[in-house]
Amino acid sequence: MNNKNNLQQNSIFTRWVSGIIENQKAFSGSCIILFFALVAIFVPFFINSPTDFLGTPLSPPSFEYIFGTNGQGQDVFAQTICGARQTLFVGFSAGILVVIIGALIGGIAGFYGGRIDDILSLLINVFLVMPGLPLMVILASWLPPTPGTLLGVLVLTGWAWNARIIRSQMMTFRNRDFVSAAIISGESNIRIIVVEIMPRMLSLLASAFIGASIYAIGAQVGLEFLGLGDISTVTWGTNLYWASNDLALLTESWWTFVPTGLSIAIVSFALTLINFGIDEVSNPRLISERIWRNKVPKELINHGITPVTSQNE
Partner 1 sequence: MNKSILYISRRFGFYLIAAFAALTLNFIIPRLMPGDPASIIFARFKGKLKPEAIDAMRESFGLTNDPIITQYASYLKGILQGDLGISIAYFPEPVSEIIGGGLIWTIFLAGSSMVIAFLIGTTLGVIIAWNRTGKLDTILPPALAFFGAFPYFWLAMVVLYIFGFSMNWFPIGRAFGNEVNPGLNTPYLLSVLYHAFLPALTLVFVSLGGWMLSMRNTMISTLGSDYITFANAKGIPSRLIMLRYAARNAILPNLTGFGMALGFMLSGALLTEMIFSYPGQGFLLLQAVQSQDYPLMQGIFMTITLAVLGANWLVDIAILFFDPRTRR
Partner 2 sequence: MKKIISIFFIPLVYFFASCENKTNRDQEGLIVYQENQISWTRNFEPLNPVSICRWPTRGGIYEPLYIYNPISTEWVPWLATNYEWKNDNRKLLFSIRTGVKWSDGREFSAYDVAYTLNLWKQFPALDTRNAWDYLQNVVAISDTLVEVDFKRVYVPGFEAIAGAYIVPKHIWSKLDDPLKFDNPDPVGTGPYTEVLRFNSQVWELGKNHNYWQKGKPHVEKLIFPTFSTNEQTTLALLSGNLDWAGAFIPAIQRIFVDKNPEHHHYWFRNTGYSTFLHTNTKDPILQDTNVRKAISYAINREQVVKVGMYNYTSPAHVTSLAGPMAKWHSPKINEKENWTAFNLEKANELLDDAGYKWKNKNERIDSNGSPLKFNIIVVSGWSDWVRSAQVISQNLKKVGIQATVRTYDFGAWIARMQQGNFQMAVGWADKGATPYNFFKSMMFSEYVKPLGETADINWHRFGIKEADFLIKEFEQTSDENKIKNIIYKLQHLFIEHAPGIPLFAELSWAECNSKYFTNFPSAENPYGPLSVNEQPSFIFTLLNIKKR
Partner 3 sequence: MNNPIISVNNLSVEYVTGIKSVQAVHNVSFEINSGEIFGLVGESGSGKSTVVQAMMRILPPPALISKGNVFINNEDIMAASEADIINFRWKKISIVMQSALNALNPVLSVREQIHDVLKIHKGLIGIEADNRAKELLSLVDIEYNRLDSFPHQLSGGMKQRIVIAIALAIMPPIIIMDEPTTALDVIVEREIISKVIELRKKLDFTILFITHDLNLLLEFADRLAIMKDGEVVELDEVKNIQKGGKHPYTKKLIGSIPSASGVRQKGLLTKPDKLTFPKDPILEVKDLEKVFQSSNIFNKQKLVAVNGVSFKIFKGEIIGLVGESGSGKSTIAKLVTRLMRPSAGSIYLNGKNKKVTESRNVPLEYRKTVQMVFQDPFGSLNSIHTVYHHLARPLFRHKLKDQTEMFPYIVHLLEKVGLTPGDKFAKKFPHEMSGGERQRVAIARALSLDPQIIVADEPTSMLDVSIRMDVLEIFAKMRKENNLTVLFITHDLASARYLADRIIVLKNGAIVEENASEKLIQSPKKEYTKQLVTAASPGWLSSLGENFEKKEEYNDQ
**Contacts with partner 1, residue ranges (CB under 8 A):** 122, 125-126, 128-139, 141-142, 161, 214, 218-219, 221-222, 225-226, 240, 244, 249-250, 257, 261, 264-269, 272-273, 276, 279, 285-286, 289-290, 293, 302-304
Q: Contact with partner 2 (CB under 8 A): which of 20, 33, 40, 58?
A: 58
Strand partners, 305: 302
Measured CA to CA, the distance from residue 193 to residue 205 in angstroms comes to 14
Measured CA to CA, the distance from residue 212 to residue 95 in angstroms comes to 5
Instruction: Kindly determine how many residues on this chain lie close enough to bind partner 2 according to the rule CB under 8 A.
Output: 22
SS3 readout for 229-259: CCCCCCCHHHHHHHHHHCCCCCCCCHHHCHH
**Residue whose C-alpha is closest to residue 103's, from 160, 179, 182, 174:** 160
Measured CA to CA, the distance from residue 135 to residue 130 in angstroms comes to 8
Nearer to partner 3, 20 or 240 (CB): 20
Cβ neighbour number for residue 92 with a 10 Å cutoff: 19
Q: Does 230 bind partner 2 (CB under 8 A)?
A: yes
Minimum CB–partner distance for residue 103 and partner 3 (Å): 17
8 Å CB contact between 248 and 76:
no
Q: Is 271 exposed, middle or buried (0-12, 13-18, 19+ CB in 10 A)?
A: buried
Mark 195-224 with x for binding to partner 3 (rule: CB under 8 A) and - for no binding: -x--xx------------------------
Q: From partner 3, partner 2, partner 1, none, which one binds at residue 261 (CB under 5 to 8 Å depending on kind)?
A: partner 1
Q: Does 284 bind partner 3 (CB under 8 A)?
A: yes
Nearer to partner 2, 93 or 244 (CB): 244
Nearer to partner 2, 209 or 257 (CB): 257
Q: Contact with partner 2 (CB under 8 A): which of 183, 190, 247, 300?
A: 247
Q: Does 13 bind partner 3 (CB under 8 A)?
A: yes
Nearer to partner 3, 45 or 299 (CB): 299
Integer CA distances (angstroms), 128 to 106, 157, 220, in order: 13, 8, 18
8 Å CB contact between 142 and 85:
no
Residues in region 107-136 near partner 3 by CB under 8 A: 114, 118
Q: Does 59 bind partner 2 (CB under 8 A)?
A: no
Nearer to partner 1, 108 or 243 (CB): 243
8 Å CB contact between 264 and 236:
yes
Rounded to 5 degrees, φ, ψ at 75 are -80, 115
Integer CA distances (angstroms), 94 to 36, 81, 149, 208, in order: 18, 20, 11, 12
Minimum CB–partner distance for residue 304 and partner 3 (Å): 7
Measured CA to CA, the distance from residue 145 to residue 155 in angstroms comes to 15
Mark 100-139 with x for binding to partner 2 (rule: CB under 8 A) and - for no binding: ----------------------------------------
What is the sign, positive or negative, of the torsion defined by CA atoms of 255, 258, 264, 267?
negative
Nearer to partner 2, 58 or 84 (CB): 58
| Residues that bind partner 2 in the complex, under the rule CB under 8 A | 51-53, 57-58, 71-73, 141, 145, 227, 230-232, 242, 244-247, 249-251
| Residues that bind partner 3 in the complex, under the rule CB under 8 A | 1, 10-13, 114, 118, 176-178, 180-187, 189, 196, 199-200, 284-285, 287-289, 291-293, 295-296, 302, 304-312
